[in-house]
Amino acid sequence: MAIDRPVLDENEEIFTEYFDILNYSKEFPQKGEQNPRAILVEYMRLTESYEKLLKTAVRISRMGDKAQKKLLKYKELMDTLRNIE
């Protein structure tokens, strides 16, 4: 059973790799793999991908926070300039 890949907009395209890994991980149990080593390898692959995704999410969050701080400073500056006039 293949899992449909979601349609991603341009902002979500950076997550394409993670959606692919998620789909593969969902399909993996259906393969009926019995070899513990193969299961461990897939588990390690999944945790490495999760770590990478988490780092990406933290980086995006930091960028958003920095942008928000800049916008707030500009807003305060604009408010100050309006009050001067």
* Cα gap 3→24, rounded to integer Å: 9
The overall average pLDDT reported for the chain is 88
Find the mean pLDDT for residues 35-39: 90
Q: Is the pTM of this model over 0.95?
A: no
What are 4-17's pLDDT values in tens digits? 666 778 878 888 88
Over 70: is that where the pLDDT of 1 sits? no
What are 15-30's pLDDT values in tens digits? 888 888 989 988 988 8
3-state secondary structure 12-47: CHHHHHHHHHHHHHHHHHHHCCCCHHHHHHHHHHHH
